[in-house]
């Protein structure tokens, strides 16, 4: 069976799960276009994940995946948290909120796993780590196809060892958060992909900077079974990205992205803006605490129409992103 047959799709393309950007219409449009749609459920509660799945099912009967953030247990002391809050205060003041509440997010991973099983979702992908043995076993008992994310050969090997059926090789070019879980890795896809293909026996999916048909063909020739594309779909009609975010993506020029921990405490690639520049040399709390601290800043910036303080996640080839429906954009890759 070919990889596309295994996933039940027509073309070797996965619409990247993009937490906060994917909408039911976006995922269903990808599925209807013959590629694997993926719900970016990382920030959702279990019930919101269920509702999202229901919405997608209303729009398509094609297969789709749900993507989860594997939780980490990061300790932080109150002083570190306070320093990070104080570090953000000048930006808060600039947005008219000298003080704001930053409730800590709750973990929903275990509940989301149950929802995926109950809703009979056939494919589940992970980032920021790998599920533990009992979770893998539980999902496998229900014949759910599992996809891990790796930013190094070591992570890909571990993904295979714990029972992932396939692995995404995420190159340094990729937009959004790095999926790294065994140290911070930053390898270009051209180097990472062949190394992972040579080291594991499971199918490898190439991700990072894939912006056109030539890029797709190149990655397949390097041994990828499929590609995962995120940034190229950001400005699609069905994308849930804020209009100012879409505008920034469409105006982007070459070399405009940087890696930053300033928004979430975890390295992520986005369009460089005032927030990122102001946060250089400012104390940053580890993920997920920094993410919780900046949540109100990001939503207030969006409300006030200030993209300079929003997280504008995008990959290195963001300047190639175009407008259109998901279907029209995907057609350009086929
Ligand atoms: C806005 C945005 C949000 C993302 N959110 C997620 C996510 O929730 N889960 C995940 O596994 N990857 C996420 N990613 C990373 C993608 O899976 C993928 O690695 C990346 O989009 C590939 O690079 P490209 O953006 O250059 O196509 C995100 C990427 C972007 C651009």
Residue 95 has pLDDT above 90, yes or no: yes
Peptide bond into 234 cis (omega under 30): no
Say how many Å lie between the CA of residue 269 and the centre of ligand 1: 9
Q: Do 122 and 100 contact (CB within 8 A), yes or no?
A: no
State the average pLDDT for the chain. 98
174 lines ligand 1 (CB under 6 A): yes
Per residue in 224-248, pLDDT tens? 999 999 999 999 999 999 999 999 9
229 lines ligand 1 (CB under 6 A): yes
Closest C-alpha to ligand 1, atom 15: 176
Say how many Å lie between the CA of residue 112 and the centre of ligand 1: 20
CATH number for 211 = 3.20.20.70
113 lines ligand 1 (CB under 6 A): no
Q: Is residue 192 part of a domain?
A: yes
- CA dist 21 and 28 (Å) reads 13
Q: What percent of the chain has pLDDT over 90?
A: 97
Q: Is residue 183 part of a domain?
A: yes
Closest C-alpha to ligand 1, atom 4: 18
H or E element, residue 258 = strand 257-260
Number of domains in the chain: 1
Say how many Å lie between the CA of residue 209 and the centre of ligand 1: 10
Determine the pLDDT at residue 73.
Answer: 85
Q: Is residue 85 part of a domain?
A: no
Determine the pLDDT at residue 294.
Answer: 98
Residue 75 has pLDDT above 90, yes or no: no
Per residue in 1-24, pLDDT tens? 999 999 999 999 999 999 999 999
Per residue in 106-118, pLDDT tens? 999 999 999 999 9
Which of 255, 277, 279 has the alpha carbon at shortest distance from 265? 279
- CA dist 22 and 233 (Å) reads 10
156 lines ligand 1 (CB under 6 A): no
What average pLDDT does the segment 123-128 reach?
A: 98
What average pLDDT does the segment 63-78 reach?
A: 94
42 lines ligand 1 (CB under 6 A): yes
Q: What percent of the chain has pLDDT over 70?
A: 100
Per residue in 31-67, pLDDT tens? 999 999 999 999 999 999 999 999 999 999 999 999 9
Give residue 33's domain range: 3-71+107-239+321-331
Per residue in 130-185, pLDDT tens? 999 999 999 999 999 999 999 999 999 999 999 999 999 999 999 999 999 999 98
Best mutation site among 14, 18, 22 for ligand 1, i.e. most ligand atoms within 8 A of its Cβ? 18
Task: Tell me the pLDDT band of 216, cut-offs 50, 70 and 90.
Answer: very high
313 lines ligand 1 (CB under 6 A): yes
Residue 102 has pLDDT above 90, yes or no: yes
């Amino acid at each position: 069976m070919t990889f596309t047959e295994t996933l039940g799709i027509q073309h070797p393309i996965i619409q990247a799960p993009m937490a906060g950007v994917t909408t039911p219409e976006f995922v269903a449009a990808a599925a209807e276009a013959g590629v694997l749609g993926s719900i970016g459920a990382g920030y959702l509660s279990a019930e919101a994940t269920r509702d999202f799945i229901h919405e997608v099912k209303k729009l398509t009967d094609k297969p789709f995946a749900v993507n989860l953030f594997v939780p980490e247990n990061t300790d932080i002391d109150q002083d570190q948290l306070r320093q990070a809050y104080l570090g953000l205060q000048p930006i808060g003041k600039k947005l008219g909120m000298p003080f704001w509440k930053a409730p800590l997010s709750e973990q929903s991973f275990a509940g989301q796993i149950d929802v995926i099983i109950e809703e009979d979702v056939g494919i589940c992908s992970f980032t920021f780590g790998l599920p533990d043995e009992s979770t893998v076993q539980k999902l496998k008992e229900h014949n759910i196809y599992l996809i891990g994310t790796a930013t190094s050969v070591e992570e890909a090997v571990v993904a295979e060892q714990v029972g992932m059926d396939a692995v995404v090789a995420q190159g340094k070019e990729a937009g959004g958060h790095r999926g790294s879980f065994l140290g911070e890795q930053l390898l270009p896809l051209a180097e990472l992909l062949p190394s992972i293909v040579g080291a594991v026996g499971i199918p490898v999916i190439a991700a990072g900077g894939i912006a056109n048909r030539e890029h797709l063909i190149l990655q397949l020739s390097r041994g990828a079974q499929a590609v995962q594309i995120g940034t190229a779909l950001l400005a699609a009609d069905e994308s849930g990205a804020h209009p100012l975010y879409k505008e920034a993506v469409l105006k982007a020029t070459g070399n405009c992205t940087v890696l930053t921990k300033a928004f979430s405490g975890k390295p992520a690639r986005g369009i460089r803006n005032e927030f990122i520049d102001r946060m250089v040399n400012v104390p940053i709390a580890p993920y997920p605490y920094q993410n919780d601290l900046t949540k109100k800043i990001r939503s207030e910036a969006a409300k006030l129409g200030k993209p300079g303080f929003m997280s504008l996640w995008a990959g290195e080839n963001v300047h190639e992103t175009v407008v259109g429906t998901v279907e029209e954009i995907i057609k350009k890759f086929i």
